[in-house]
Amino acid sequence: MTNINPEQRTSIARLILIPSVITLLVTLLRLTGELLHWSTTLFSPEAGGGGSIIGITWLAPIFGIYFAMKLSGSGEGPSGAGRAIGLALVGLVLNIGGGFVAFAPQFDFPGKQIVGLLLIAASTIIPLFGWPSLFKALLAYAYAARIPVALIMFFAIRGQWGTHYDVLPPGFPPETGFWSTYLQIGFLPQMVFWIAFTVITGSLFGAIAAALFRRRPAARMAGA
């Protein structure tokens, strides 16, 4: 990574501004499509989103690559792309493991969901040690993307809108009170799991893109 003056570092707010606006527009489009009962292939109202084509999940790797290219171009690339990829993979494994501990029926012990969520939260931090500037950009973007969703879910659950933002997952006790429901299917997933997902997948795809970006100039020089 090139040493640069702190004053020359890329502004995180400026870097994530356009991606955050795009993500918000996609979120609002998704909500509108579900409320107006548009194509369920594009706007699935099923719990968890049902793999809907229109959604912000797919934007995490795309903007991870975008941030990586911007940062690399300004001299803020990783000290080693391989290390960044490896640490992102470690974070991914820990994230998946945390999900199994929290929700898989094979694990059954007191406080397992808390332990699982802590593992998921910890997995978010690991990419920091591979590419700090990309981690900071993705973390800021993740919150910019997910806070609006958490707010929408608050009102959707409160008003029972019949969208994927408020539909209860299979097996969830329907008699559960509002605040407990919102905490379990709204706030915690958005502020823990999806933050981790965004940072880890964005870091992985971004680091791979940076590695390819580095190889191309080297290949050109070797062939010159």
For residue 189, what pLDDT is reported? 93
Can you give the pLDDT at residue 9?
66
- The confidence score (pLDDT) of residue 50 equals 74
Of 40-44, 72-76, 80-84, 146-150, the range with the highest mean pLDDT is: 146-150
With 50 as the cut, is the pLDDT of residue 51 above it? yes
Q: Is residue 48 left, alpha or beta, with left meaning phi > 0 and alpha meaning psi from -120 to 50?
A: left
Q: Report which of residues 217 and 32 the model is more confident about.
A: 32
Confidence of residue 219 (pLDDT cuts 50, 70, 90): very low
Determine the residue type at 46.
E
Give residue 137's pLDDT: 97
Domain boundaries, given as residue ranges, for the chain? 10-223
| Average pLDDT of the residues of the chain | 90
Q: Which two tokens stand for residue 12?
A: 């995180």
Question: Is the confidence at residue 157, as pLDDT, over 90?
Answer: yes
The average pLDDT across 146-173 equals 94
The mean pLDDT value for 82-101 works out to: 95
Nearest of 86, 95, 77 to residue 131 by alpha carbon: 77
**Helices 194-223 & 81-103, crossing angle to 10 degrees?**
160
Query: DSSP state, 10?
Result: P
- Would you state the pLDDT for residue 103? 81
- Cα(135)–Cα(128) distance, rounded to whole angstroms? 5
pLDDT number for residue 2: 47
What pTM did the predictor assign?
A: 0.89
H helices of the chain, in order, are 12-35, 59-73, 81-103, 112-125, 132-159, 178-182, 188, 194-223
